[in-house]
Structure 1
Amino acid sequence: MTNDSAVCGNDESSAQEHPEHVARLLIKHRSSLLAFIFAVMRDFDAAEDTLQDVSVAIWENADTFELGSNFGAWARSIARRRIAAYWRTRSRSGQTLSDEQIDQLVDGFEQLQSANEPEPRKRALVECLGHLSPLLTRLIHLRYSKQLSLADVAESVGQPTETIRKALYRGRTALRECIERKLALNAEAGSVS
């Protein structure tokens, strides 16, 4: 289950940021939401129209979404209601899916989404990398993704090798602490639910 984690306080700025955060999540999940709708509706034009309706409903109900919970599942529950309405109108023309068939498609899609979700530690790593300075992110990318030696990284950025070694040590320490904090927060949130 994906937790789209964010802290939502009770202050005025948090209340103003909540719809913006939901809008960012909608953009992030748009393609998987369209894939879900299309899988059930089997008509691309109708799926796009339904996605627009679902997007409006998500925006109108943004204040009901609990930040830190599974946005994809919440959005799909809204989409499911819109899809059911679509199939009710289609039933008049003889084309229909039963509620049971729609539920089976929804369950299958949920299982597929769960199987493709990154592990909590990897999600935390990606989030924590976003908190590092651009230079430190670049150093980590060169050293660990590109697998360059310390000397090659130092040459690439025009810094002494010892400076790069110390910066990478600080970066790894910051990442480890950030990941541990995020995992602990997620564990606390899971035990509260």
Structure 2
Amino acid sequence: MPAPDDFDYDAALAACAQGQRQALAQIYARESRYLLGVALRIVRQRQHAEDVLHDAFVAIWQRATTFDAARGAGRGWIYSVVRNTALNWVRNNARDVPVDEETGAALEDEMAVQHHASTRDAGETRVDLGRLDGCLDRLEPGRRECIVLAYVDGCSHGEIAERTQTPLGTVKAWIQRGMRALRECMT
């Protein structure tokens, strides 16, 4: 994910929510090549990645009203939509797509989150989110940052290593150990 410029992603999403197609076109013009890269790393075939990107932009358009700037940055939300759309595509076509270790781990975590969310009511979910916040606070800053970049911003391990100026192997280990610590803390 390239460094952000002065473009206001939150305002563009608000404009999408109001039905302004030009706002979606601006997001597409600024981010599509990077978002295609995110999808391609996950689905591994360009044609499928292009389909994922299309579906993700349809979802961005349709769900722009659900974006809440208080919960995170608009740009991160956009990347999360693309990442989740790609992971859903892989999950639905798992027999046809060889996945690497990173994508496999992301799929497992995503399925665990979805299973957990489907078995909880809203009140229990809020309590768990509060516990998760406390568990994240217990992690050392480097591990916490890597997990947030991976699971909130949708960055790959390589992108995280580049952003944090940390060796790739260290990033992978921090995420793996951090996720293990979060699982233990949450149980």
TM-score (norm 1): 0.43
TM-score (norm 2): 0.44
Q: Give 1 or 2 for the bigger CA radius of gyration.
A: 1
